[in-house]
Amino acid sequence: MTIAANVLTALVALLHCYFLVLEMFYWDKPRGIRTFGLDPEFAKASKTLAANQGLYNGFLAAGLVWGLAQGAAGTPVKVFFLACVIVAGVFGAATASRRILFVQALPAALALAAVLAAT
């Protein structure tokens, strides 16, 4: 069960690295505009805010990698950062797009459940 928990946690970390790249570097490019369904003018105007958001996603990924790197001692770190991802995903789903619930919160919830089951 520990292997599954670590794989799921790593996948959540990778997702957040991908979000970082999309938000920091592709927000106002065709890929970002298409991914987020943005108007090009809005994307250009909100580029700085998106970069900030991407940075936060990078911090979430870094926290998850930190927890993974600690082995069994990293369980509390993984629990904390997965909970943060879930809260961010639920908030995003409530305020921006319901899709965020499935793209961000659900994978984190599955990883959290696996981490807790492995302890």
Residue extents of the structural domains in the chain: 2-118
User: 81-90: per-residue pLDDT in tens?
Assistant: 999 999 999 9
Q: What is the pTM of this model?
A: 0.93
CA-closest candidate to residue 16, choices 53, 71, 69, 67: 53
Under 8 Å CB-to-CB from 7, ≥6 apart: which residues?
none
- Looking at per-residue confidence, does 1 or 73 come out higher? 73
Question: In terms of C-beta density within 10 A (0-12 exposed, 13-18 middle, 19 or more buried), how is residue 8 classed?
Answer: buried
Taking all residues of the chain, what is their mean pLDDT, rounded to a whole number? 97
The pLDDT of residue 76:
98
Q: Which residue has 């069960």 as its token pair?
A: 1
User: 48-58: per-residue pLDDT in tens?
Assistant: 999 999 999 99
Copy the structure tokens of residue 46: 């909100």
The pLDDT of residue 65:
98
> Where does the pLDDT of residue 1 fall: very low under 50, low under 70, confident under 90, or very high at 90 and above?
confident
The pLDDT of residue 75:
98
